[in-house]
Amino acid sequence: MVIVIHQSGNTQNALFYNEKKVEQKKAHFYKSGNTPTINPFAGTKHARLNILKEIEERNTRVKKKGLHISVNPTVTDLVKLGEKGMRTEIGNMMEHLGYGSQPYFVFKHSDLDRTHFHIVSTRIDCETGKKIKDNYEKEKTQRFIKSLEQKYDLSKEQNQVQSNLKFSAGSRNLKQNLESLFYQLNQIESINTKQLYDKSLELFNVEVRRSGRGHVVFIIDEIGNPIRYPIRLSEFQERPRFYLSAKVEQEIQIPTQIIDQFQLAQWARDVNRLMVRSRSPEISKRQRLKIKGKQKRF
C-alpha cells in the first residue's frame, strides 16, 4: 500500500482533475463522507466543489486549503481488503490524519495498469473554520500503513516505492504516466518559467520539442538521445504549463546560474514520491538503449 499526500493546495484543481477522469471514463465515483446530501455524486461537479468552497470561504488567511490524497494498493492488497475493506479503511485513514469529520469525495481510477484511489477534501475545519493541523502527516501516514500491514497481513516487500521513477525505453503506460507527471509539476508554483519547467522534465528523462506548428514529447537517455517513439502533445488531456498555447509559449530567458540545482533535486524528490507507477522486475532496472542510425526528424 502506498499513500501519497499531494502538494496541490488548490481544491478546484484537485477536484476537477478527478472529475475530468470520470468524464473520460478513466475513473468513477467511489465514496463520499460527511456531505450535506446523501448522494453528492447525483449533482454537478460545481455543486460538489461548492460543498468544500463554502467551508474554505470561512478562512481567507490560509493559502493552500485543498487536501488531495492518493491511495495506491497492490493487487494483493485489493484482494485481502476487498471492496468493503477499502471503503472502511479510507474512512479510517481520514480519521487517523485528523480529517474524519470533513466532507470528502473518493474517486476510483483505472487509467493505469492498477487500481488506485484519489480523495479530495479541504484542510479548513468544517466546524471551527480553522486550518486543521497537518504536523507530521508523513509520519502519521506511515504509521497507518503499518497498521494495515499488521491488520491484513500485507507484504512489506510489495509496499516499497521505487526511489527512481525516471522514464525509460521500457516504461509502461507511458501516456498516462506522463500526464500524471505534467499534473504534478503543474501544481508546483515555484516552477514559474519555461526554462525551469524544461529542466524539471529532464530530471525524469522527458523532453518537449517543437514539431511543425506543435510539439512532441520524447523520452530521452542520459545524453539527450530519444529512446522510444514520441507522442504528440496534442494527444494529452493534461499538458505541461508553458506549452498550453502559442501565446504562453514565449520562453522567459533567465541566466543559467540562477537555476538552483538543489531546488531541482528537491522537486525531483517530491514528484518521485507523488508519482507511483507499477513496473515489472525486468523493467525496474534501467534499460540503457542506444538508437542506431539517424533519428527521424519530427
Per-residue pLDDT reduced to its tens digit, 54-96: 999 999 999 899 999 999 888 788 888 989 999 999 999 999 9
Using the predicted structure, report yes or no on whether residue 110 has a pLDDT greater than 90: no
**Gyration radius of the chain's alpha carbons:** 20
Give me the pLDDT at residue 273, please.
56
For residue 112, the model assigns a pLDDT of 58
Proportion of the chain above pLDDT 90, given as a percent: 43
- Would you state the pLDDT for residue 274? 56
Nearest by Cα to 182 from 233, 220, 251: 233
Contact 199, 264 (CB under 8 A): yes
Each residue's pLDDT tens digit, 174-198 = 888 888 888 888 877 777 888 888 8
Q: What separation in angstroms does the CA of 248 have from each of 30, 41, 107, 217?
A: 37, 35, 32, 18
Of 100 and 296, the one with more pLDDT:
100
pLDDT at res. 48:
97
Summarize pLDDT for 127-171 with one digit per residue, the tens. 999 999 998 998 999 999 999 999 998 876 444 444 345 788 888
Q: How far apart, in whole angstroms, are the C-alpha atoms of residue 162 and residue 278?
A: 9
pLDDT at 180: 83
Torsion angle of the four alpha carbons 117, 122, 127, 129, in this order, in degrees rounded to the nearest 10 = 170
Cβ atoms 148, 89 nearer than 8 A = yes
Mean residue pLDDT across the chain: 80
pLDDT confidence of residue 186: 83
Question: What pLDDT does residue 231 have?
Answer: 93
What is the pLDDT, as a whole number, of residue 15? 95
pLDDT at position 22 = 94
What's the whole-number mean pLDDT along residues 247-253? Answer: 42
Global pTM exceeds 0.85: no
- The confidence score (pLDDT) of residue 293 equals 46
How confident is the model at residue 164, as a pLDDT? 46
What integer is the mean pLDDT of 115-135?
95
Q: Tell me the pLDDT tens digit for each residue of 256-278.
A: 334 455 556 556 655 665 554 43
* Residue 103 Cα distances to 9, 47, 210, 284, 292, angstroms: 16, 13, 44, 38, 55
